């Protein structure tokens, strides 16, 4: 058995994609950071990839399953991840693979009918949630947003949630797949919401809308976004966050622009009430007759049109963009 590993060439990437399709798996759209390939007589026998700390696209040829090739791939990926400084690993797989990955040192976090989310720490999710602030106030609400960048629309959503809840968790996505880094988005949100005493700005870690739970979200192409991934992501929120933190309401803005986010909101309406969580949809804030959107702000930022941009963002965001933002990182 021949072993290949590293960053795939364009030709190798297409070959791996075809192999995964043959095994009945959805192939990656974006080139992984690192891939291992086992070959027999020149043909792919097994493969697996890493995207940061996330194990992805692990598959073994149907005729060679049960011969330990999957364990070889997983072991190689885990060792490489450790060498890159990633000790906390995650993966999504089919529920029938539970025993296989448990034997490799992974533990179940959340599961739907179609998907299983696992990590290599027995209490990783619980430990992360325990680091978040707690409250005795009620009811407890939540907002989950990317804030790329933070706008007056995000501020309006937080205000509406704060008016009807004793306490609100305003979660900022931690995945760095956006124009602004997670730290920059946290900074803008924290400063813009600092005057709301019952709102806490918190990170999501890798547990909400991330490469681990929802890798296609950041492609913003609805045809590539799996309904199964949406349901899994929301199940993780309900089981790992809402339950321990006492969250009974999740606030979302109406979505007139992005089809993927609109689909996610519809799925939220179907999934979360089963967990006792009310979904509250808030009409978009409008400025000068147009709904405020972060994508519009990014366009105006590229154009250098501060006259049109400034009314759409908070004073804190505007100040951050003018005085602190590293334009070269865009």
Q: What is the CATH number of the domain that holds 190?
A: 3.40.50.620
Q: What is the pLDDT of residue 218?
A: 41
CA distance 313 to 322: 12
**Is residue 52 one of the residues assigned to a domain?**
yes
135 and 74 in a single domain? The answer is no
**Is residue 114 one of the residues assigned to a domain?**
no
194 and 324 in a single domain? The answer is yes
Q: What is the pLDDT of residue 330?
A: 38
184 and 48 in a single domain? The answer is no
278 and 197 in a single domain? The answer is yes
Q: What is the mean pLDDT of residues 75-93?
A: 94
Range of 265's domain?
127-329
165 and 293 in a single domain? The answer is yes
CATH code of residue 12: 3.40.630.30
Q: Residue written as tokens 């990926």?
A: 77
The answer to whether the CB of 73 falls within 8 A of the CB of 80 is: no
Q: What is the pLDDT of residue 222?
A: 43
246 and 167 in a single domain? The answer is yes
49 and 154 in a single domain? The answer is no
133 and 62 in a single domain? The answer is no
296 and 165 in a single domain? The answer is yes
Sign of the C-alpha dihedral computed for residues 15, 16, 21 and 23 taken in this order: positive
Confidence of residue 30 (pLDDT cuts 50, 70, 90): confident
**Is residue 30 one of the residues assigned to a domain?**
yes
Total of domains in the chain? 2
Give residue-wise pLDDT tens across range 240-251: 999 999 999 999
CA distance 237 to 207: 8
Q: Which ranges in the chain belong to alpha helices (H)?
A: 10-22, 69-83, 98-103, 124-130, 152-164, 182-192, 227-236, 243-245, 259-271, 294-303, 306-309, 315-323
Give residue-wise pLDDT tens across range 128-148: 999 999 999 999 999 999 999
Percent of the chain with pLDDT over 90: 74
**Is residue 119 one of the residues assigned to a domain?**
no
Q: What is the pLDDT of residue 224?
A: 46
**Is residue 115 one of the residues assigned to a domain?**
no
**Is residue 304 one of the residues assigned to a domain?**
yes
168 and 76 in a single domain? The answer is no
Lowest mean pLDDT among 189-193, 221-225, 253-257, 266-270: 221-225
Average pLDDT, the chain: 91
**Is residue 162 one of the residues assigned to a domain?**
yes
83 and 152 in a single domain? The answer is no
Q: What is the pTM of this model?
A: 0.90
**Is residue 303 one of the residues assigned to a domain?**
yes
Write down which residue in 89, 118, 147 finishes a domain: 89
313 and 178 in a single domain? The answer is yes
DSSP secondary structure of 119-145: ESSTTHHHHHHHTS-----SSEEEEEE
């Amino acid at each position: 058995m021949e072993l290949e590993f590293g960053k795939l060439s364009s030709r190798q990437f297409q070959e791996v994609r075809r192999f995964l399709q043959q095994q009945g798996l959805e192939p990656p759209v974006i080139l992984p950071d690192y891939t291992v390939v086992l070959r027999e007589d020149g043909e792919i026998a097994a493969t697996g990839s890493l995207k940061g700390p996330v194990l992805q696209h692990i598959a073994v040829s149907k005729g060679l399953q049960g011969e330990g090739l999957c364990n070889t791939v997983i072991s190689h990926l885990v060792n490489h991840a450790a060498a890159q400084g990633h000790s906390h690993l995650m993966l999504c797989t089919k529920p029938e693979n539970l025993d296989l990955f448990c034997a490799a040192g992974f533990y179940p976090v959340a599961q739907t009918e179609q998907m299983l989310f696992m990590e290599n720490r027995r209490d990783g999710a619980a430990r992360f949630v325990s680091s978040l602030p707690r409250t005795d106030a009620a009811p407890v609400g939540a907002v989950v947003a990317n804030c790329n960048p933070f706008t007056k629309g995000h501020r309006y959503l937080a205000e509406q949630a704060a008016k009807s809840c004793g306490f609100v968790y305003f979660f900022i996505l931690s995945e760095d797949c956006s124009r602004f880094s997670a730290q920059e988005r946290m900074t803008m949100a924290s400063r813009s919401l600092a005057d709301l005493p019952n709102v806490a700005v918190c990170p999501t870690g890798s547990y909400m809308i991330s490469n681990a739970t929802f890798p296609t979200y950041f492609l913003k192409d609805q045809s590539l976004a799996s309904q199964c991934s949406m349901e899994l992501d929301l199940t993780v929120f309900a089981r790992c966050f809402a339950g321990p933190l006492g969250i009974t309401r999740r606030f979302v803005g109406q979505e007139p622009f992005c089809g993927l986010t609109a689909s996610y909101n519809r799925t939220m309406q179907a999934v979360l009430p089963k967990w006792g969580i009310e979904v509250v949809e808030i009409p978009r804030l409008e400025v000068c007759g147009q709904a405020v959107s972060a994508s519009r702000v990014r366009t105006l930022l590229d154009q250098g049109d501060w006259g049109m941009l400034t009314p759409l963002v908070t004073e804190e965001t505007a100040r951050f963009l003018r005085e602190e933002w590293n334009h070269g990182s865009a």
